[in-house]
Amino acid sequence: MPTKSPVRSRKAQIEQKATALFRTRGFAGTSMRELATELGMEAGSLYSHIRSKEELLHRICFELAELFFAGFSAATQEAGRPVSFQLRLAIESHVRVLTRDVAASAVFLHEWRHLSEPARTEFLALREQYEAGFRRLVQQGTATGELTTPDPAFATLTLLASLNWLPTWYRPDGTLTPDEIGHRLAEQLLRGLAAKEQPSN
């Protein structure tokens, strides 16, 4: 009985090459013909593996979304943990997902705008749901006195914006591992949110 692994392998090659092209040229600037050329294939042969260029973008965006949600769920599944600790774990998980495949992360962060409906609306809803999870942690931490901020929503956007800049400068061959980067970013970002002891009168 023939195995399906070669087909999956070819699909993986196509997705990897498409991800790299989407990152460097943008989704709109990448044609199926260019993708086929990079892969050493005829343009028509691509359609035996994928339906369209957007199918690849959809897969990249939604596969990463699943990873982000899985990491956040693992970080917050034990309600008894201090909120600040859950937020630390969520930050470190976010960094691990971003650094797992920097090209895919860059596409996820910038090229989702080219998704057509209803996928675009679904993606935006997922993004808001994910941000809301971080926002809820910041709000809870503020309520318990573990964290301090006059505006949890603004603090959350600032936190995620700081993290999402990572694909522009992270290098897999750099001196810091993803775990080390996650730890340092968590330390720096949480230090800014940490509740300060009030001076005694």
Q: Average pLDDT, whole number, for the chain?
A: 90
Can you read off the two tokens belonging to residue 75? 């970080």
**Domain residue extents for the chain:** 1-50, 54-193
pLDDT at 2 over 90: no
- The CA distance from 154 to 185, in Å, is 18
Phi, psi dihedral angles at 147 (to 5 degrees): -125, 160
Among 44-48, 49-53, 109-113, top mean pLDDT goes to 109-113
Among the listed ranges 9-13, 56-60, 80-84, 178-182, which one has the minimum average pLDDT value? 9-13
pLDDT at 194 over 80: no
Can you read off the two tokens belonging to residue 52? 């369209």
- Domain at 1-50, CATH class: mainly alpha
Q: What pTM, to 2 d.p., does this model score? A: 0.87
Instruction: State whether residue 201 is helix, strand or coil.
Output: coil
Instruction: State whether residue 196 is helix, strand or coil.
Output: coil
The pLDDT of residue 200 is 45
pLDDT at 198 over 50: no
Among the listed ranges 68-82, 127-141, 160-174, 187-201, which one has the minimum average pLDDT value? 187-201
The pLDDT of residue 157 is 95
Give pLDDT tens digits for 68-107.
999 999 999 987 889 999 999 999 999 999 999 999 999 9
Q: What is the CATH number of domain 54-193?
A: 1.10.357.10
- Same fold across 1-50 and 54-193: no
Decide which of 45 and 121 is more confident.
Answer: 121
The pLDDT of residue 179 is 94
